[in-house]
Amino acid sequence: MVTGADGRLHWTPLRAVGRSRGELWELTPENAIPLPAGSTLLSLPGRQPLGLDRRGRVAVAEGTAVSAILPTGFLRTLLPAYEQGRRAAALPLYGYTAVAASEPPGPGQEPQLWAAAMPVEEPGLWDPKHFNGPDLPRVVSQRLEESPGNRLVKHLSRCALEYGCFTAQNLFYRRWEAGIPISAACNARCRGCLSAQPDGVFPAAQDRLAFRPTLDEVVEVGLAHLQAAPKAMVSFGQGCEGEPSMQAELAEAAIRQWRRATRRGLINMNTNGSRPEAIRRLAAAGLGSVRVSLFSARPAVFSAYYRPHGYTLDSVLQSLRAAKSEGARTSLNLLVYPGLTDTPEELAALQDFLEAAPVDLIQLRPLNMDPALLEEILLGGGSTGEAPGSAADRGQERPGFGAPMGLPEWWRRLRQAFPQVGWGSFTPPE
């Protein structure tokens, strides 16, 4: 399937393939699922799709490659396979997924679309059909009128209306999980950060919070939600901010005020796990859930992706232990990438990490980034966290990645090794 010069989707006779590192896998009903409702199709400019011709030889199709972006609840298993033009611009931050089309059943009839993916959890409250409704502008302006001076509500109104952020929209719909960003600062420089791209290779997906909210602003936003929303949950650590535990004092004060006023709802923090002592204090104050982001449990790969400042992979482990020791629920936001995550080295390191870390739930999420850029960093130049090709980069050891086993097999082995751990795609409200 390609995007033609007319911008429309066109079926091509080449058999569709997906990619995992240097390997191409033909997409079949055995390794692909019908494209989930709520998926988005994206054209990949400057990239021509690869496929298999009648003799099974790899061929390049005329037209522009197409990728799927899956809704929460599904995990991609293969990347789109394409030939990238030398002048192709870097792709924005999405979880690019291999997609295919069956031959149209008849003239003028739509083909069935397929995606290289596996279901992880029913989308439920995160089903895209619940969001971006025609009433959104009205509920946003209504809430803005109720809190005229609250800069946080103003900031979140942009997230809801302009970025289409689900946790921001939940604040205005007064339901489920609402996001409460509090930190402009961060002690990491993640390659795939949504709100800050200091290298300038491609633009950040959204503007980062540019102010420090006051305690009153935070308390007002959260209390109204905890007291009244169905399945109420408030979450620090949103895509539009830095690391929330960098504002631990503000968060702790807000949590204490909320808990003095109500025991209702769940208070959660999405964090990079860099500050275990802050997490311990917050959990003791009433933080009921801690979700830690992790791409790799190998120190060299961890550093190359997160570029941490003043903390290490061990800090992440200690943060999970600190949260658990104070009674908070713990989950891992595992960033998954076909061809890297499902390698023997990564699996072994993750198993060692999970042996040591008290995790109740593992959330499987795609690592959202231009595949060529990420692989250049981790497999080619720049896998040491230094600028690609610099002297500091060339002088250091690169982490090796063995042959990928395929994500379905990787997941089977993990579930077998950790039967006590829950699996999902998002933090449950209760």
> Given the rule CB under 6 A, which residues bind ligand SF4?
186, 188-190, 193, 195-196, 242-243, 272
Cβ distance to ligand SF4 smaller for residue 260 or 309? 309
Cβ distance to ligand SF4 smaller for residue 19 or 291? 291
Cβ distance to ligand SF4 smaller for residue 48 or 271? 271
Cβ distance to ligand SF4 smaller for residue 243 or 326? 243
Shortest distance in whole angstroms from residue 215 CB to ligand SF4: 22
Shortest distance in whole angstroms from residue 331 CB to ligand SF4: 16
Start-end of H helices in 294-395: 299-306, 313-325, 344-356, 371-378, 391-394
Shortest distance in whole angstroms from residue 242 CB to ligand SF4: 4
Cβ distance to ligand SF4 smaller for residue 305 or 411? 305
Residue 359 and residue 361: Cα distance in Å, rounded? Answer: 6
**Which amino acid belongs to residue 123?**
P
DSSP string covering 240-308: TSS-GGGGHHHHHHHHHHHHHH---SEEEEEE-S--HHHHHHHHHHT--EEEEEES-SSHHHHHHHH--
Q: How is residue 208 written in tokens?
A: 């980062």
Shortest distance in whole angstroms from residue 100 CB to ligand SF4: 31
Strands in 33-34's sheet, in edge-to-edge order, are: 33-34, 113-115, 99-101
Q: How many helices (H) and strands (E) in the chain?
A: 12, 22
Cβ distance to ligand SF4 smaller for residue 266 or 292? 292
Burial readout 176-206 (b: 16 or more C-beta within 10 A, e: otherwise): bbbbbbbbbebbbbbbbbbbbbeeeeeebbb
Shortest distance in whole angstroms from residue 307 CB to ligand SF4: 8
Shortest distance in whole angstroms from residue 243 CB to ligand SF4: 5
